[in-house]
Amino acid sequence: MNIGQAARKSGLSAKMIRYYESIDLISPAGRSANGYRHYGEEDLHRLAFIKRSRDMGFSLEEVSKLLTLWQDRQRASADVKALAGAHIDALNRKIEELVGLRDTLQELVNSCQGNDRPDCPILKDLESGCTLKSH
């Protein structure tokens, strides 16, 4: 199948498939006589693996490691578990950060009168975090 068909079947864009090829996340596709890339079922399986990994929030570096582990039939599942556990830790840190941001913004929204006056604690807070650099 051509790259358009592979994109539709994998749920990835043709641009992403070409990008994954350019960073060696997938092997370069075979080429037909007219120079078009062509993909087989194994390629689709790999693309689906990449898409699912990315959907779970793994970085490209982590996806590369997961692909290596996936293809290594002698791998220890402990290696996969460690990588996934580290990702969970990173997700939990990000969740804590987002909850903190949400709570801070909620406090600011609650303190805003939301009327016709120009006073705005939200903008005042954003301004206070701004540092001007002198040139």
| pLDDT tens, residue by residue, 68-115 | 999 999 999 999 999 999 999 999 999 999 999 999 999 999 999 888
Task: Pull the structure tokens for residue 79.
Answer: 């290696």
pLDDT of residue 134: 46
Q: What is the mean pLDDT of the chain?
A: 91
- Kindly tell me if the per-residue pLDDT of 120 is higher than 60: yes
Per-residue confidence at 24, pLDDT binned at 50, 70, 90?
Answer: very high
The dihedral region occupied by 35, where left means phi > 0, alpha psi between -120 and 50, and beta the remainder, is left
What is the Cα gyration radius of the chain? 23
DSSP labels for 24-70?
A: TSSPPPEE-TTS-EE--HHHHHHHHHHHHHHHTT--HHHHHHHHHHH
Topology of the domain comprising 1-58 = Multidrug-efflux Transporter Regulator; Chain: A; Domain 2 (1.10.1660)
pLDDT of residue 130: 58
Task: Pull the structure tokens for residue 33.
Answer: 């006589």
| pLDDT tens-digit readout, 28-38 | 888 878 778 88
Percent over 70 (pLDDT), the chain: 96
Task: Please state the pTM of the whole predicted model.
Answer: 0.78
pLDDT of residue 36: 80
